[in-house]
Structure 1
Amino acid sequence: VLYSSFYSVKKNHIIFIVNCCHCTERPKVKVSIKPAQHVFRGETVTLRCDIDGEGVTSWEYRWYKDGSFYSSSELQEYTFSPVTESDAGKYSCYGAERGGSRRSQHSDAVTLKVSDRAQTVLSVSPQKWLTEGDPVTLICEVYSSSTGWTFSWFSVTASPGNRYHYQLLSDSSRGAGGNYTVSSAALKHTGVYVCRAERGNPAYNTTYSNTQPVWVTGVSPQVSLVISPSRTQHFTFVSLSLSCEDQSNSDRWRVRRYTENEQWEDCSSLLWASQTGSTCTFIFTFTSNTGVYWCQSESGENYHPVNITVHYDVILESPVHPVTEGDTLTLRCLYKFTTPQNLRADFYKAGSLLQNQTTEMIISNVSKSHEGFYYCKHSERGESPKSWISVRGETVDQKTLLKSVLV
């Protein structure tokens, strides 16, 4: 209740005295957005207007968008289902008591940002080339958004024509964390992976992420990829043979390739190549033959991945199979158009110079720390591609022999 009185203090001046009984401050208001302020077209988005006022049984909620009246409702929440780019803007609200005279304050505005379809990004840590027993983590993130997502991981296979098939990892638990970790990688983990995220109710799903390969090297009892000549780098315009060999000499294995542009290919589909039984033969090699090759069983198991690089001039001669701890590693730089072949070169690991001006580099008593990418460089001929050198632990036979010697 307001009432006032006035007194004339001096000519042409009036002083108003305002008296207030039962006046209270207007209730404060806050606007919130679920699931997040940054959402994607197709999601269900809810605006909520919370009024911190006592003694009012019902409010009429009045919504404003970008400073202009937008909508009014007796409901505390306003929902976009589905939300579109046109719904983006700055939203605020205030309340008016239904059947009464009370009014709330006007809330601060919150910004709703609506983008096109959400994109998930998959990365591998610490690296995609592993040796048996190494830990590996698949990290799934939603580009430019981090609120309220749950994640799932899938292995990917491709049928002829590169039609993708996704298989949910049976041992992956969906959760708020975007990491899927394998504490000890096994040969069976060799493959190509994607992830996907979802949030909200009803659930909104992102598209599948980019593909990420994981290559696990080791000695497989099932099958071995035998390469002739026995090295991972090869010159152009030479013959090359890749054969999947198992103990029973069966033909149930085939050679497959994965390229940098995310294509699965059979040996028989490659230029100047043919598949006979479990053997892939190149009559002539080309730089386009570069890729990761492995042996795949009829049931889809993947074993023994090898990164084969075809280069025109300088290549690094390195072992195809993982090197066992304690053994000796020998690397050589080979030249296609040079006589004599024993030119001196510099040898590098991960960009760091290890040895310079030598015909070969020998590392005795190899340890896990020697694992990594190696290449060689000649001052005039150029440098070779990089090759991954895997180092695995001692075999059971080696440990038994060492134990018997010590005893």
Structure 2
Amino acid sequence: LKIYECTLGNDFIYGLLTTECFIGNGKAVVSIKPDTHVFIGERVTLRCEIQGGGSEWEYGWYKSNNKFTDSTKQEIRIQSVGDSDSGDYTCRRLWDSSQRSETSDAVTPTVSAKPKPTVRVNPQSSVYTGDTVTLSCELQSTGWEFQWKTVNQKQQVHDIEQAKTLTVTVDNEEETMYWCSARRKNYYEDYSNNFYYYHTERSEYVWITGS
């Protein structure tokens, strides 16, 4: 299917190709954010792009070949994804009742339970006062920002670093507990200038003390 697009003021005319017209192949492409691997409760954004440019169109949205929503917007959101939201999502551009763009290839999100990071400790052998220990916060999927916390014997909780790995110096005088959590951006709201984040469960606690 070839699309011939000519501009006349703010209107679009489809028909014969002229020197002022643009030609595209009309193939629709659907994308998903934050990732194809998503978690229960996340906000998921689907966007339909037409190869060859242009965005001022109406769009049809389908899940497993059935109409998914009455929305004809280029971008749609699933506010809180669940197990029932698994499936093959496709889109296409609509411009009248008889002509449509080619349907996109499907994007298929994998929906999993809310993730919980694990902490890897290196070295795993006994450590002594003054030694350094590296803690790594591990998650299988992508796009995460990590946060480390610690609590001392006085039960004081501190945010200590936003990083995947944390290096600590062993203190023989005080046993210290560490844990991590993670978050990733779900979408950006233009009007409020805010990112919305999805937060994981916290990891198990790790206790560090010297011998």
Does the alignment reach a TM-score above 0.5? Answer: yes
TM-score normalised over the length of structure 2: 0.74
Alpha-carbon offset, residue 147 of structure 1: 1.3
- Residue 150 of structure 1 corresponds to 145
Alpha-carbon offset, residue 125 of structure 1: 1.1
Task: Tell me how far apart the structure 1 counterparts of residues 197 and 27 of structure 2 sit (CA, whole Å).
Answer: 33
RMSD of aligned alpha carbons: 2.9
Question: Structure 2 matches for 1:180-191, cutoff 5 A?
Answer: 180-182=166-168, 184-187=169-172, 190-191=175-176
Percent identical: 38
Alpha-carbon offset, residue 158 of structure 1: 8.4
Q: Which has the larger radius of gyration?
A: 1
TM-score normalised over the length of structure 1: 0.41
Alpha-carbon offset, residue 80 of structure 1: 1.0
156 and 129 in structure 1: CA distance in 2 versus 1, 3 angstrom threshold: farther
Question: Structure 2 matches for 1:94-243, cutoff 5 A?
Answer: 94-97=92-95, 103-127=100-124, 129-142=126-139, 145-156=140-151, 167-170=157-160, 172=161, 174-175=162-163, 178-182=164-168, 184-187=169-172, 190-200=175-185, 201-217=195-211
Alpha-carbon offset, residue 27 of structure 1: 1.5
Alpha-carbon offset, residue 193 of structure 1: 1.8
Do the aligned partners of 1:156 and 1:167 also contact (CA within 8 Å) in 2? yes
- Residue 30 of structure 1 corresponds to 29
Amino acid at match of 1:197: A
169 and 186 in structure 1: CA distance in 2 versus 1, 3 angstrom threshold: farther
Q: Give 5+ residue unaligned stretches, structure 2.
A: 1-14, 186-194
Alpha-carbon offset, residue 181 of structure 1: 1.8
Do the aligned partners of 2:24 and 2:51 also contact (CA within 8 Å) in 1? no
Tell me the secondary structure at the aligned position of residue 119 of structure 1: coil
Alpha-carbon offset, residue 105 of structure 1: 2.0
Alpha-carbon offset, residue 197 of structure 1: 0.7
41 and 57 in structure 1: CA distance in 2 versus 1, 3 angstrom threshold: closer
Do the aligned partners of 1:91 and 1:111 also contact (CA within 8 Å) in 2? yes
- Residue 191 of structure 2 corresponds to none
Tell me the secondary structure at the aligned position of residue 63 of structure 1: strand
Task: Tell me how far apart the structure 1 counterparts of residues 174 and 35 of structure 2 sit (CA, whole Å).
Answer: 35
Task: Tell me how far apart the structure 2 counterparts of residues 32 and 186 of structure 1 sit (CA, whole Å).
Answer: 49
Task: Tell me how far apart the structure 1 counterparts of residues 60 and 148 of structure 2 sit (CA, whole Å).
Answer: 43
Task: Tell me how far apart the structure 1 counterparts of residues 47 and 175 of structure 2 sit (CA, whole Å).
Answer: 47
- Could you say which structure has the greater relative contact order, defined with CA pairs below 8 angstroms and 6 or more residues apart? 2
Q: Does 1:45 align with 2:44?
A: yes
- Residue 190 of structure 2 corresponds to none
Amino acid at match of 1:109: A
Do the aligned partners of 1:192 and 1:214 also contact (CA within 8 Å) in 2? yes
Alpha-carbon offset, residue 83 of structure 1: 1.3
- Residue 289 of structure 1 corresponds to none
Task: Tell me how far apart the structure 2 counterparts of residues 196 and 77 of structure 1 sit (CA, whole Å).
Answer: 30
Do the aligned partners of 1:128 and 1:215 also contact (CA within 8 Å) in 2? no
Question: Structure 2 matches for 1:302-321, cutoff 5 A?
Answer: none
In terms of fraction of residues, the more helix-rich structure is: 1
Task: Tell me how far apart the structure 1 counterparts of residues 159 and 55 of structure 2 sit (CA, whole Å).
Answer: 51
Tell me the secondary structure at the aligned position of residue 202 of structure 1: strand
Tell me the secondary structure at the aligned position of residue 114 of structure 2: coil
Alpha-carbon offset, residue 72 of structure 1: 4.2
Q: Give 5+ residue unaligned stretches, structure 1.
A: 1-19, 160-164, 218-407
Do the aligned partners of 1:29 and 1:93 also contact (CA within 8 Å) in 2? yes
Tell me the secondary structure at the aligned position of residue 86 of structure 1: helix
Task: Tell me how far apart the structure 2 counterparts of residues 25 and 169 of structure 1 sit (CA, whole Å).
Answer: 52
